[in-house]
Chains A and B, each alone.
Chain A
Amino acid sequence: MNWFTNFFSSTLGRKLMMALTGLFLILFLAVHLAGNLQLLKSDGGRAFNVYAHFMTHNPLIVTISVVNFAFIAIHIIWAAILTRRNRAARGPVGYAVTNNSSSLTSRNMGILGTLILVFIVIHLRSFWYETHFGNIPLVDYDGSPVKDLFTVVDVAYTQLWFVVLYVVSMAIVGFHLYHGFGSAFQTLGLNHVKYNPAIRFIGVAFSIVVPVLFALIPILMFLDITIG
């Protein structure tokens, strides 16, 4: 094995991949949220539809979205590889009694992640698949026709179970990030007295604020409340 493959198949190399892909996904979440908040505008969905058209046609954004899919896949596959290894490392017999001194979220990243994966599959089927392969009516804004994705979303969020699914899933994302955000910095080796408080604060704030704002979108759309 040359040094490169050797590095990326070491536990630390694999963890580095988890951390880098995780941080990229965090960045993606922030951008995704900023775009989606336009769903709440009281303009009949115009801003959102124009934005969605841009996101699916700009070559740079389309490239980044391919990278994003690849990173999600890497994050999931590497998580599975590491989790299997970690299970096996306990040995043939486990403990009869455990009295954990670690946090619940930190111990259940694999379960939280698997639940997020289930959500991602449903989410992609509902919106991503529809956008690309579904039959979506066009709307005309100043002579340029774009797909009326807003209506697809609006209709989807009239179903209560769908809204509940989104709210619960966002809570799960929040817990994943509550541990994951700080964990990624520690994995990268970024642990420093000067910056630890900031990493901790931003991590906690991000893992609460972003999922809450995401969850507000289906709730407000279900209640037909628009803002601005």
Chain B
Amino acid sequence: MKITLKVWRQKSKDAKGEFKTYPLDHVSQDMSFLEMFDVLNNDLVRKGEDPVAFDHDCREGICGMCSMYINGRPHGPLQTTTCQLHMRTFKDGETITVEPWRAKAFPIIKDLVVDRTSFERIQQAGGYISVNTGGVPDANEIPIPKIDADKAFDAAACIGCGACVAACKNASAMLFVSAKVSQLALLPQGQPERKTRVENMVAQMDAEDFGACTNTLACEAECPKGISVTNIARMNREYFSAKASSENA
């Protein structure tokens, strides 16, 4: 199939970027979107041009690296990661516009690659649990209601890809942060830091200049892992009750 790619090219963080158009005429329907970019980059290297920089790692839909804003949606038209998106989703002859994630908290490094260390700093602010040294505890030693385990597991499915931020008109990170807060707040192992965790992670989220949620639910609709906005409500509850009752005056 033939397609025309309009790709955002930007040399470095502060350089001025622009769209470049690349016609491709030997794209297979079975290629993943990233493989299609590999073909493009091969052509560019052969012609002596600079290949398009894009993030990727596992290509299995589990690492969350493959950030591309395709035709106005994070990871393109399907609710999946870019590496799991195939060219058969597009029409022959289609023009496909590919942009980087756009957020003040995700500055562009080069072309389609953005710096998502703001997510890491939020995690470092509280997205962990205390683990005592000593013998390994028996599996299933701590009873956990099945429903809580399931909810925690669903929240833990978040791969930190940043599609929620990219999709949100406010570039809000609430879905990501709420998934990380929920995952640990729901489990007994997460209790020791329960209040400080949500206080510190929200403070870090604000410090990174992410926007505030207006409940448009675009994040949930675009999340490749189906993280639910019920997590956002849970984080709000956790935050309000932590602020009201923690000793952190």
Contacts and interface: CB of A to CB of B under 8 A. Distances in A.
A98 B202 CA distance: 28
A99 to B, nearest CB: 3
> Which are the 6 A-B pairs with shortest beta-carbon distances?
A99-B72, A191-B233, A189-B237, A89-B211, A86-B170, A102-B216
Interface stretch (B21-29, B99-107, B183-191): B99-107
A82 B210 CA distance: 11
Contact of A90 (B97, B102, B203, B236): B102
B97 A106 contact: no
A91 B102 contact: yes
Contacts of A94: 102
Given A107-B169, A187-B236, A11 B243 contact: no
Contacts of B99: 95-97
A15 interface: yes
B214 interface: yes
Contact of B170 (A89, A99, A186): A89
Interface stretch (A2-10, A29-37, A141-149): A2-10
B233 A190 contact: yes
A99 B71 contact: yes
Given A3-B249, A11-B212, A191 B218 contact: no
Contact of A188 (B172, B236, B248): B236
Contact of A103 (B6, B106, B216, B230): B216
Nearest to A190: B233
Contacts of B214: 82, 86, 106, 109, 183
Interface residues of B, number: 51
A135 interface: no
A58 interface: no
A61 interface: no
B239 A12 contact: yes
Contacts of A188: 236
A82 B205 CA distance: 15
A182 to B, nearest CB: 8
Interface string B189-220: 00000000000001101100111111111100
A85 interface: yes
Contacts of A187: 213, 215, 236
A3 B218 contact: no
Interface string A79-122: 00010011011111111111111110011010000000000000
Contact of A3 (B171, B211, B248): B248
A76 interface: no
B221 interface: yes
Contacts of A10: 202-203, 206, 239
A90 B217 contact: no
Given A15-B212, A15-B236, A101-B221, 15 more contacts: A3-B243, A10-B206, A12-B239, A13-B243, A14-B212, A16-B240, A82-B212, A86-B169, A86-B171, A86-B211, A89-B210, A90-B170, A90-B211, A99-B77, A188-B236
Nearest to B234: A189
Contact of A85 (B71, B72, B203, B211): B211
B69 interface: yes
11 contacts: A3-B249, A11-B205, A12-B239, A15-B213, A86-B171, A90-B102, A91-B171, A95-B99, A100-B72, A106-B215, A106-B217
Nearest to B8: A96
Nearest to B218: A102
Given A16-B240, A102-B169, A89 B72 contact: no
A108 to B, nearest CB: 10
Nearest to B212: A11
Interface string B119-150: 00000000000000000000000000000000
Contacts of A11: 202, 205-206, 211-213
A189 B185 CA distance: 15
